[in-house]
Amino acid sequence: MKVDAHHHLWDLSVRDQDWIDPVTMSAIRRDFGPADLAKAATGFDRTVLVQTVTVAEETPEFLAVASETARIGAVVGWVDLTAPTVVDDLARLRSGPGGEWLRGIRHQVQGETDPRWLCRDDVQRGLMAVFDAGLLYELLVLPHQLQAAIETVAAFQDFPFVLDHCAKPPVASGELEPWASAIRELAGFENVTCKLSGLVTEADWAQWTVDDLRPYADVVLAAFGPERLMFGSDWPVCLLAGSYGEVVDAAEDLTAGLGRTERDQVFGLTAQRVYGL
């Protein structure tokens, strides 16, 4: 089974995606639905559909899409972790239509001004509710928020975390530290898996090369190993910097030094295990 562990869908007639700048991000300011996914992800057997906005209505919509789309094998949704109703909110999603497709929750921590947002008491109570519901939590953080992520993972070592987009390293500038050291520390916790995703949009959109991405891919490969690393296209966001095929080709190039079994882990087996596909 070949798995794309990270992609999105949206319908602008249902809900605006206000994070899409109409000038600099015009390439993705249109609808992307299951039919578009089918055309793009031709080489993949299953995919993981991931939330895009902090709106409660989106997750039930995604669960409905997963119920109707054979290629989508799992959904990562959103709930307000700080809400007093978080336990009931999660139970309602799990027991509602398509609830069997819900595998995880994430929040756009990258947009929080407090670099220690993850360490807040109300957030950690919400995380406990996520784990009690049998779900994983996806970390969408920037490099300066990695310390809080490390402390959070350390506090919940019995529960599964997934790091999105390698914590968005500064590929465009070519800097490795302090990102690389923090990644190695985070990878020291066996309950964390990392997605090899999102690197092309952290590079120069117009003229990135695989060699620009390689130092960052090498860090996560060495830190997590193929058994805790999984490919994600981040489509259609990746279209800002390259086509679906170009992103896949880059990932294959970056992992070319691995053996066949190790590549199978990155491109399918790890995600199959983590998301119960």
% of the chain surpassing 90 pLDDT: 100
Compute the average pLDDT of residues 1-8.
97
Angle at which helix 244-254 crosses helix 210-224, to 10 degrees, equals 60
Q: Which pLDDT tens digit goes with each residue over 41-83? A: 999 999 999 999 999 999 999 999 999 999 999 999 999 999 9
CATH of the domain at 225: 3.20.20.140
Band the pLDDT of 167: cuts 50, 70, 90.
very high
pTM of the model: 0.96
pLDDT at 11: 97
Which residues form the domain of 40?
3-275
Q: What is the dihedral of CA 93, 96, 100, 104, to 10 degrees?
A: -10
Domain count, the chain: 1
The first and second tokens of residue 115, run together, are: 């670099």
User: Is residue 103 classed as helix, strand or coil in its secondary structure?
Assistant: strand
Q: Which residues neighbour 270 within 8 Å (Cβ) at sequence distance 6 or greater?
A: 5, 193, 226, 227, 228, 229, 230
Mean pLDDT, range 200-226, rounded to an integer: 98
Quote the percentage of the chain above a pLDDT of 70.
Answer: 100
CA-to-CA dists, residue 13 to 10, 50, 118, angstroms: 9, 19, 33
CB-count burial class (<10 Å; 0-12, 13-18, 19+) for 84: exposed
Asked whether 130 and 105 are in contact (CB, 8 A), the reply is yes
Mean pLDDT of the chain: 97
Nearest Cα to Cα of residue 126 among 78, 73, 174: 78
Whole-angstrom CA distances from 93 to 47, 61, 103, 135 are 20, 11, 11, 11
Structure tokens at 275: 């998301």
